[in-house]
């Protein structure tokens, strides 16, 4: 019974991730998860990837207008090269600068 409820909540999360720009914390709260980290862990166990990766792929496949907006860590989508630039900073290291002007 618990496994089915968890699966159903993850299915709702997938719909919300693909169709809205809501934060992961907001989606977790709306679906009754105790925290964002608990939501991410449950999502990864059911789907095999993180909610962030699921959303990025869903938006890419849909050609969504949301896709280049609001991503953490300074990632930038270049319309010119149609690729992501930058990387998420690691603890104690500076973010690598990427030239997208080419």
For the stretch 77-98, pLDDT in tens is 555 555 555 554 455 445 455 5
What tokens appear for 53 in the block?
């990766």
Q: What is the pLDDT of residue 83?
A: 55
What residues of the chain score a pLDDT lower than 50?
68-74, 88-89, 92-93, 95
d(CA 71, CA 67): 9
Q: What is the pLDDT of residue 62?
A: 78
């Amino acid at each position: 019974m618990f496994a089915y409820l968890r699966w159903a909540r993850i299915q709702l999360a997938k719909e919300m991730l693909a169709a809205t720009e809501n934060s992961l914390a907001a989606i977790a709260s709306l679906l009754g998860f105790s925290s964002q980290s608990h939501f991410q862990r449950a999502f990864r166990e059911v789907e095999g990837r993180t909610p962030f990766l699921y959303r990025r792929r869903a938006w890419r496949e849909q050609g969504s207008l949301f896709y280049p907006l609001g991503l953490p860590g300074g990632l930038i989508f270049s319309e010119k090269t149609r690729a992501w630039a930058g990387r998420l900073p690691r603890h104690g290291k500076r973010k690598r600068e990427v030239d997208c002007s080419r």
